[in-house]
Structure 1
Amino acid sequence: MRPLRDAQLGAFTFFASALPHDVCGSNGLPLTPNSIKILGRFQILKTFTHPRLCQYVDISRGKHERLVVVAEHYESSLSDFQRQGKTASPDKVLQVAYEALEGLEFMNKHGMVHRALAPNNVLMDRQGNVKLAKFGLYYMTDRGGDVDFPIGFPSYLAPEVIAQGSFHASDPSNKEAPPPSGPKSDVWSLGVLLFEMCAGRRLLHNIEISERLKFILTLGCMDDIVTVLAEEHGCLDTIKDLPENVLELLRKCLTFLPSKRPTPAELLGDGVFNEISCSYTPFQKPLSLFSSALRCAHLELPEDISDLCKEEEEDYLSERAIDEVYHLWCLAGGDLEKELTNQGIIQSKPPLCTLPKFLLEDGESFGQGRDRSFLLDDTTVTLSLCQLRNRLKDVGGEAYYPLLEDEQSNSQDLSTSVTLPLIIRERDTEYQLTRIAYPYKKDLVWKDARVDIPPLVRGLAWSALLGIEGDIQAKYDGIDKDTPIPTDRQIEVDIPRCHQYDELLSSPQGHIKFRRVLKAWVVSHPDLVYWQGLDSLCAPFLYLNFNNEALAYACMSAFIPKYLYNFFLKDNSHVIQEYLTVFSQMISFHDPELSNHLNQIGFIPDLYAIPWFLTMFTHVFPLHKIFHLWDTLLLGNSSFPFCIGVAILQQLRDRLLANGFNECILLFSDLPVSYALEEHGGRRGNQCELEIDIERCVHESIKLFIWTPKSATYRQHAQPPKTAASGADGNGFGRPLAYYFSDYQDTPRTDLSREPLALADLKAELSPRISAEDLIDLCELSLGGVGKKARAGKPKIVAVDIRSAEDFSRGHLSGSVNIPYSSAFNADGELTQCPGTGVLHAFRGRVIVVISHAMKSGVTFTSHLVKVNFPRVCMLDGGIGKMRSTGLLTVPSPQI
């Protein structure tokens, strides 16, 4: 979006037509409210950026189908000429005509017409340039079918529009809608406006509407409509004195028959604008963010960057984008309905005055008719920025230039705020001002994302974290999304049930976009298939990139291989089973007491965790919680979801430990629907007790992740190694933790790497295995024989060697503890003495790595530690044999 500059923010409101409550659609679901339809169509209007159009910013839906639209606004308009009773100069008329036609032509290229041209909708900025307002009203209301008022003003409507009459979709007497208005209808409206500028008065102002419409329709019998209008209003001499090119323009605009009337594009190329057109530079569409061309090549910075912020009276806020200013206005306490109420646009009435009309059997009616406040009030209220400016008055000018690198000052500014809860930071005006700029370097994106991701730029930040680049639009356009495929039926069934509490995703436009993005993914991945849950996975990306399907598709296509590699194979049972088994081992590793209880009652992950991981928790949580969860998920590697799952279980830990199988099934069966009830303010059964604290879940997940050796989550069905690690140093939570946040699969394979394990063998082990290279790194050892420098943030670890004392004395890992297997178990693997007592008890809480000679004894030993609730137990893959070639085994010196 362009900067605010000398513009203001304006808001206007109207009501959508109400639908009957007892009518359902063909799918058996309630009809989509007209306000939701309008809200969905409105979104594309926000992408229209043209110097002759007022930028749309936002739309909000209130009670009783009320909609409030926010857009760029200017106080000056063509109405000023009428109020002053002055005629405009010919040059001014040509300027207004040319600039208005530029805006109309741009709209026509996007398949839209204005249909509401009137003096108060042709605004003027401080330089006197035209800005067309309310140009999207006809489109967003489906040509007026979703509202109870006509689109346009009778005095300015083209004859062919008047001849069609009015149409209301809610009126049962209407069988079909009239054909849509074309670009030529706006040319007539513009001609009336230009005529009024030349005459210095309004046309047909003092005549009843019905007479006005009759007069316009009779103009078809006139040879020279301009002369007839001039005679009718007593300004014939004024009109005759106009230059020939202005008169020619008026005649062409006020051509009665649409077939002979030119379009805006044809008028722009007409000879009447030969002298004025050369002074205008053709509009060029701004370059896309995902483009090979340099978007900022023309920008220049002063030699001393500090010069940018020295002007004390400089209005830095006006240089920020309009959507940013509005976002900050809302954070500073801006309330749209309050502003409209203060201006008298919204008027509250006592309940007794709003009783509906009802009919008796004899046809007698009682109650009031349609409240006229439900019709369109064309007033635009200017939103005051005083409260926002007062809030930001103490903010230095440097904060408005966030792309200027000054790490010291930035860290000082953020140091006090980042300690606050995330929900408070997201609502803090000053903090968000410093955060909403999109960093221009990849490492800065990762660095800033580790702090938090501002809601306003979340979609772009996610795309950067996922490494999206290149001409994504061309790739998306090249995918066939129209040819029917077998999956279409399932997609059609799933979409109306996917996050439909959200107004945007539940709109018809949302369904259309859902269908296109999902189908694009299915068609472009022929080796994979559509599984139920893919729609939930798509929802966050579509919501954040509603007007950029290509980016939503690209993000989804990058997300799935990273976190859900091969989950969508036609036969994904081996992938899912391995994933759930590793998750089960993670529960045992971090919370053995909970793991033992769940295993004892038979409540295995297969019964509850498949929807978690298949949809990356989007089936469990509402979108606003998914955003915060994925902000962190995208910084971690493919094993981070395991830690999220364990963190969720730990929040429900007390209830799980206190209940049996049936109660746990009921508990988890409520989780997928809890968000829908929460969004609608409802509760069912124990819904309020199932609330998951996402911020706590995120913090706990990071702690669990840090304590998890990276090879412990090794999966042979995970994504193959990539050529380069993504992100800053391949990690998302700081350079000291790079070891943990790069995928184990990305590390080069060596003789010390973990070996694949058959699924049956993997399921037989309660504890995870770790690789020899992982053990070496965690123990701060060096293959060269010299101890490595300890890194901050690494978990404390102890190696427990369960070989016999004799074998231990022949060579062992430095610092390891010897607890012979034979001292705790007999030859049949039966327990004779608990190894959890004595010396091992002192290491409780550390990562315990069991080193054995035979893996069978290691499995028995670690399983027993888990059963007696020892946390963080794992064993060395390959046993002591993997360590023999490293030269790290030491032999104790003989006693003298």
Structure 2
Amino acid sequence: MALFANASDLKIYHDRPTPKLASCNFVASARSSEALAQSGHLAVSAPSQIMGRFQLLKTLRHENLCEYVEIHRGKHDRLFVVNEYHDNSLQKARSEKAQTPVSVDLIQRYAFEIFCALAYLKQNNVIHAALSPDNVLLDENDRIKLSGYGLYYMTGHGVDVDFPIGYPGYLSPECVLDTCSEEPYGYDKRDCWAAGIILVEQFCRNSFWTTSDVGLVFDSLNTLAEWAKDGKDENIWNHQGIESLDINKDILEFLQGKTTNNDNSMNTKDSIEVFRQLILNCLQVTHTKRPDYHEIFALSFFNNSTKNKRKEYGWIHGPVLASQNLQPDEADIDEPVKKKDPATPYDPLADLPLSHIYHLWRLAGGDVEVNLVKRGVFLSMPVIERLPRVCYVEDGEETGPVMVDTTQLYSDTMQILSYKELYQRLEQEQSQRSSERFEWDADYFNVVDENDVNFLLEETDKFKKQQNGINNHNIDGEVDNGDEGDDDDLVFYDEILSPQSSVMGNGPLSGSAFITSPGTPSTTRSLNRTFSFSSMNRSRSQSSSSLSINTPAPSTPTQASIPRRPLSLREQDVNYQYHRQRLFAELLRQYPASQKEIIHHAKVDIPPLLRNKIWAAILDVHGDLDTEYQKIDKYNDITSDRQRLILIIHVYVHVFLLDVPRCHQYNQLLASSAGHEKLRRLLKSWVSSNKKWVYWQGLDSLCAPFLTLNFNDEALAFACLQKFILKFLNNFFLKDNSAVLQDYFAVFRHVLSYHDPELSGHIDAIAFVPDLYAIRWFLTLFTHVFPLDKVYHLWDKFMVGPSSLPLFVGVAILRQIRDDLLKYEFNGCISLFSEHFPKIDIEKCIQSAMNMCKVTPPSIVSLRPIISPTPEEHGNNEVQNWWDKPLSVETRKQELAPRIDMKDFPRISPYTLVLDIRSDHEFANGHIASSMNVQPTQLHSFASILRKLNRKYHVVVADDSEKQGPEFAAELVRRYKFPRTAVLQGGIEAADWFYNSIRSGRLCTCRPQKQTTAGHKGKGSEPPFVIWRCKVPTPLSKR
């Protein structure tokens, strides 16, 4: 199923002129914010309430509605609303053609489109309440486009603003009498009255009221309401006192049926009469007698052809197919294809959705508030002019005119956004493409250090395996099944290209094939392996699962040639984002067929505008999400289990009363009542759907990124949350999760020892254990530590990285503040984390974490399985070796250095100093090639000499003893600060079994060389230390 094929923000618009955007602004009510604060909602304010409700308006799509794009909060609680705009309107059309008769057929089409739009709004519980000819716009095809329909809804029916909503000349009598609230919400029919006024004005070419005095208009409406109460509603327009009201004479005659229209030959008497009946129905003074929209469509005024058009509105075009991009043969179609005029200049914005255009406009320097300030829109009466002349102290009487400047509370003047700067930026990139090449940033996951190993190069499809439940005991989900090559059809190994050869928009990267073994360095001491994602024409030439996109992918140069461009600059580069958005939009329309392409490109970066859908695609979200989400009971939880009932009460207390009202309340969406309600439903759905797990405090923060990105799509947010927890936090939310957390912290401690032995040794010496500071890190994946804007960037890498990446991020955070940690004792570290936590550079943290992750063997970050295999399962498998059995959590917690499996050892062996601590006799009988035999008791004597060898990795090989190897490795870490130190799990026995099983090697049985230091003098009777060394040189020495 193409999940995003019909997504409105991915739609391509053909043969459409570039749409215009405009903004209006208003000020939220300060009194409403104060009332919310007094009621206990300290973080909730009127602006946040408005912004929360506005999100629904962004989802409304109808061909007769102007699309809402975005809302921003400015200074002094002023809100700026950006929406689609058209220059023409019914008001302008009436003014320009005041003397021209209008056809009833045209009025019929206008009426039909207006009522279709209003009916659609009613289906979404939205009332226009401010309908007037000025906001009934006309597009280039003379089609109705209602504007301003969201003001009443987003302001909570006018509660959150201090100005009235609506235009006096188009208000219904019940609005003036304030009797709207007496009826249920669904029976509000003020828009029907306003539509009737607009249509009769358009037909008669006159205003309904002869006065602009609001008081006189309201008096007339009150009089009509009083007459209606007297039972004269049926013939109210023929009332004997009707002429005393300020109603236009021509319109009144039309309502009374006196218009013969002799001067207008285009309209028949019957057509005028059926139109009059429509207007009389709309202008029923008693709102309960006013027809509903389905009753209006049933009137004879709308003929069958018009009704048939309405039936077609429910059809949705989709899905996107590969054949749609093929040019049809003119001989096979009835009408030839309309070819574009080559003289017509290409408009890069014409086919983009409005949200994309506005995002690019902002990147090009656009700012709604700043533009209005420059135009002098906010110039108002000086404060000194609004003060009273004299204030008497005794009675508080004020003398002089007291001016209240309310003119700036709301401005319905639409300020059109200029695309001039945006076009200049885009044209500048086109002109400079040939001279100043655009460089794609490096994929930091696959960047190769020429003197190191990258364990991530062969993980292109690891996440899919983990989704299928493979190898749950490994945090990275790695299994050597030998089938991984089937998923590498998009990966090519090419020569290093010059930075100038990677050009955005100039087609695929090219290069001759060059493959280097990942385990053994080349003769030039370099592992110059690059990933090149060529165009989909090349990679999918024999597959129809993906469309062809002539867009290059990032090359992966070596570490030394990476052009370091900060992520913040990339996200602010309008040209870069323009091309990235087009690339991902095309890939998302093809999802799930394009999932691997999406993951490949997302490893460079993710465009913020499409982050929600890209995350969903990476997490392999698919299916009928809305149906599945609707099946979940988000409100009731009936159970007879007493323990389950206690858990439900626990969830209610934490979710509804404590956690939700304080979850990231600096975010305007989460601080709104709509955000609170959505977060509650999301958390309740998760608890209801995961019976074996429970709610732990911090889950609300874990939901926050998904909810803010998918505020209008709870089903997608919930599906992403489910997949995300399964990948990164599986079993973290068990009722008793102590074993899971302790095992995770043990691995975290090992990773820290592996990459920063000095810091690890210090933290271990002062007993500053991860339980004291890292629970909120990993249980919330840093959402409880960083603001959401940083979390987005962090999770961008989590999504496309291995599930062990959060561990390395935790280590990277500690390494950023290592100077402070090294100078503090226990109490100082507690104070640092609880009161004065330093500011973290998130981009450096991500880069540091990925650099560590690439060079860390996967077995070092493997977790112990939560559920042990049953005896029956053991019987179906081969006999398990003793070193393959998982270590207990207590054993892992006691060990400072990690353990490495033999399956990872061949990858690092060319860079490894292997220290065999068995006896010299056992060493001579068989040992790992290029290893050294040392005695643990003499470590203090030869440690400095071993450090001078400057090897990348250090692996300790011991015998069957469970303590000797870990203790020796702990000394290397704690006392001598050897980096990347690990113990070979299973020792020499595991190595012997491994070489025999793969049948491509064996233990070395050469006669080792005896080495010592010349002139060494032992202390007292201590003999000189001796090192036995294998004669086989390391692969790195063969250069």
TM-score, normalization: structure 1? 0.84
3-state DSSP class of the match of 1:203? coil
Encode CA deviations 1:850-886: one digit per residue, 9 max, x unaligned. Answer: 1111332111210110121011000111111112223
2:372 is equivalent to residue 340 of structure 1: yes
Q: Residue 964 of structure 2 corresponds to which residue in structure 1?
A: 857
Cα distance in 2, alignment partners of residues 91 and 20 from structure 1: 46
The amino acid of 1:56's aligned partner reads Y
Q: Residue 680 of structure 1 corresponds to which residue in structure 2?
A: none
Change (3 A) 1:894 1:613: closer
Encode CA deviations 1:280-299: one digit per residue, 9 max, x unaligned. Answer: 253556869xxxx7345783
Cα distance in 2, alignment partners of residues 31 and 797 from structure 1: 56
Cα distance in 2, alignment partners of residues 80 and 578 from structure 1: 71
Encode CA deviations 1:66-116: one digit per residue, 9 max, x unaligned. Answer: 111000010100111332224422111101100011101111111122111
Cα distance in 1, alignment partners of residues 172 and 856 from structure 2: 71
Q: Residue 17 of structure 1 corresponds to which residue in structure 2?
A: 29
Change (3 A) 1:238 1:39: farther
From 654, 666, 670, give the equivalent of 1:490. 654
Please report how far the alpha carbon of residue 447 of structure 1 lies from its aligned counterpart in structure 2 after TM superposition. 1.3
Cα distance in 1, alignment partners of residues 325 and 549 from structure 2: 18
2:218 is equivalent to residue 213 of structure 1: yes
Tell which deviates more after alignment, 83-92 or 329-338.
Answer: 83-92
Tell which deviates more after alignment, 182-191 or 378-387.
Answer: 182-191
Q: Residue 143 of structure 1 corresponds to which residue in structure 2?
A: 157
Q: Residue 1002 of structure 2 corresponds to which residue in structure 1?
A: 889
Checking the alignment, whether the CA contact within 8 Å between 1:329 and 1:388 is kept in structure 2 is yes
Q: Residue 318 of structure 1 corresponds to which residue in structure 2?
A: 350
Encode CA deviations 1:268-307: one digit per residue, 9 max, x unaligned. Answer: 233211154156253556869xxxx7345783432799x9
Change (3 A) 1:447 1:40: same
Change (3 A) 1:226 1:91: farther
Cα distance in 1, alignment partners of residues 506 and 347 from structure 2: 10
Cα distance in 1, alignment partners of residues 408 and 699 from structure 2: 41
Gaps of 5+ in 1: 167-175, 671-685, 722-746, 781-795, 826-830
Q: Residue 169 of structure 1 corresponds to which residue in structure 2?
A: none
3-state DSSP class of the match of 1:779? helix
Tell which deviates more after alignment, 517-526 or 155-164.
Answer: 155-164
Structure number, greater radius of gyration: 2
Q: Residue 5 of structure 2 corresponds to which residue in structure 1?
A: none
Q: Residue 606 of structure 2 corresponds to which residue in structure 1?
A: 453
1:698-847 mapped onto 2 (5 Å cutoff): 698-717=846-865, 754-779=884-909, 796-815=911-930, 817-820=931-934, 823-825=935-937, 833-838=940-945, 840-847=946-953
Checking the alignment, whether the CA contact within 8 Å between 1:578 and 1:715 is kept in structure 2 is yes
Cα distance in 2, alignment partners of residues 763 and 468 from structure 1: 36
2:691 is equivalent to residue 526 of structure 1: yes
Checking the alignment, whether the CA contact within 8 Å between 2:32 and 2:46 is kept in structure 1 is no
From 391, 414, 420, give the equivalent of 1:380. 414
Q: Residue 299 of structure 2 corresponds to which residue in structure 1?
A: 270
Please report how far the alpha carbon of residue 134 of structure 1 lies from its aligned counterpart in structure 2 after TM superposition. 0.8
Change (3 A) 1:125 1:180: same
Please report how far the alpha carbon of residue 20 of structure 1 lies from its aligned counterpart in structure 2 after TM superposition. 7.6
Checking the alignment, whether the CA contact within 8 Å between 1:591 and 1:871 is kept in structure 2 is yes
From 574, 584, 587, give the equivalent of 2:749. 584
From 576, 588, 593, give the equivalent of 1:431. 576
Q: Residue 195 of structure 2 corresponds to which residue in structure 1?
A: 190
Please report how far the alpha carbon of residue 142 of structure 1 lies from its aligned counterpart in structure 2 after TM superposition. 0.9
From 939, 963, 978, give the equivalent of 1:870. 978
Encode CA deviations 1:784-837: one digit per residue, 9 max, x unaligned. Answer: xxxxxxxxxxxx33332222222222222223x2223xx332xxxxx6644423
Please report how far the alpha carbon of residue 248 of structure 1 lies from its aligned counterpart in structure 2 after TM superposition. 2.2
From 46, 55, 64, give the equivalent of 1:43. 55
2:796 is equivalent to residue 631 of structure 1: yes
Please report how far the alpha carbon of residue 407 of structure 1 lies from its aligned counterpart in structure 2 after TM superposition. 5.6
Q: Residue 502 of structure 1 corresponds to which residue in structure 2?
A: 667
From 795, 801, 810, give the equivalent of 1:645. 810
Change (3 A) 1:20 1:507: closer
The amino acid of 2:285's aligned partner reads F
Please report how far the alpha carbon of residue 247 of structure 1 lies from its aligned counterpart in structure 2 after TM superposition. 1.9
Identity of aligned residues (%): 37
Checking the alignment, whether the CA contact within 8 Å between 2:899 and 2:982 is kept in structure 1 is yes
Q: Residue 121 of structure 1 corresponds to which residue in structure 2?
A: 135
Tell which deviates more after alignment, 592-601 or 388-397.
Answer: 388-397
3-state DSSP class of the match of 1:523? helix
Please report how far the alpha carbon of residue 359 of structure 1 lies from its aligned counterpart in structure 2 after TM superposition. 9.6
Q: Residue 844 of structure 2 corresponds to which residue in structure 1?
A: 696
From 665, 690, 696, give the equivalent of 2:830. 665
Q: Residue 83 of structure 2 corresponds to which residue in structure 1?
A: 71
Cα distance in 1, alignment partners of residues 124 and 411 from structure 2: 27
From 392, 402, 405, give the equivalent of 2:426. 392
Tell which deviates more after alignment, 45-54 or 236-245.
Answer: 236-245
Change (3 A) 1:545 1:877: same
Please report how far the alpha carbon of residue 24 of structure 1 lies from its aligned counterpart in structure 2 after TM superposition. 6.5
Q: Residue 231 of structure 1 corresponds to which residue in structure 2?
A: 249
3-state DSSP class of the match of 1:378? strand
2:624 is equivalent to residue 471 of structure 1: yes
Cα distance in 2, alignment partners of residues 452 and 114 from structure 1: 41
Change (3 A) 1:719 1:143: farther
| Matched residue count | 816
Checking the alignment, whether the CA contact within 8 Å between 2:991 and 2:1003 is kept in structure 1 is no
Cα distance in 1, alignment partners of residues 373 and 853 from structure 2: 51
The amino acid of 1:570's aligned partner reads K
Please report how far the alpha carbon of residue 185 of structure 1 lies from its aligned counterpart in structure 2 after TM superposition. 1.8
Checking the alignment, whether the CA contact within 8 Å between 1:712 and 1:770 is kept in structure 2 is yes
Q: Residue 744 of structure 1 corresponds to which residue in structure 2?
A: none
Change (3 A) 1:811 1:207: closer
Checking the alignment, whether the CA contact within 8 Å between 1:117 and 1:190 is kept in structure 2 is yes
Please report how far the alpha carbon of residue 419 of structure 1 lies from its aligned counterpart in structure 2 after TM superposition. 3.8
Encode CA deviations 1:656-696: one digit per residue, 9 max, x unaligned. Answer: 111111111111113xxxxxxxxxxxxxxx56xx1100000
3-state DSSP class of the match of 1:318? coil
Cα distance in 2, alignment partners of residues 355 and 214 from structure 1: 33
Change (3 A) 1:481 1:444: same
Change (3 A) 1:359 1:134: farther
Change (3 A) 1:528 1:139: same
Please report how far the alpha carbon of residue 372 of structure 1 lies from its aligned counterpart in structure 2 after TM superposition. 1.9
The amino acid of 2:932's aligned partner reads N
Encode CA deviations 1:131-181: one digit per residue, 9 max, x unaligned. Answer: 000111111111111111222111111222222179xxxxxxxxx998657
Please report how far the alpha carbon of residue 647 of structure 1 lies from its aligned counterpart in structure 2 after TM superposition. 0.3
Cα distance in 2, alignment partners of residues 19 and 299 from structure 1: 55
Change (3 A) 1:543 1:207: closer
The CA RMSD measured in Å over matched residues stands at: 3.4
Cα distance in 2, alignment partners of residues 489 and 880 from structure 1: 55
Change (3 A) 1:639 1:409: closer
Tell which deviates more after alignment, 848-857 or 193-202.
Answer: 848-857
The amino acid of 2:769's aligned partner reads I
Cα distance in 2, alignment partners of residues 64 and 701 from structure 1: 41
Tell which deviates more after alignment, 135-144 or 273-282.
Answer: 273-282
From 250, 263, 275, give the equivalent of 1:246. 275
3-state DSSP class of the match of 2:572? coil
Change (3 A) 1:399 1:80: farther
3-state DSSP class of the match of 1:53? coil
Q: Which has the higher contact order (CA 8 A, sep 6+)?
A: 2
Cα distance in 1, alignment partners of residues 63 and 868 from structure 2: 49
Cα distance in 2, alignment partners of residues 77 and 312 from structure 1: 28
TM-score, normalization: structure 2? 0.73
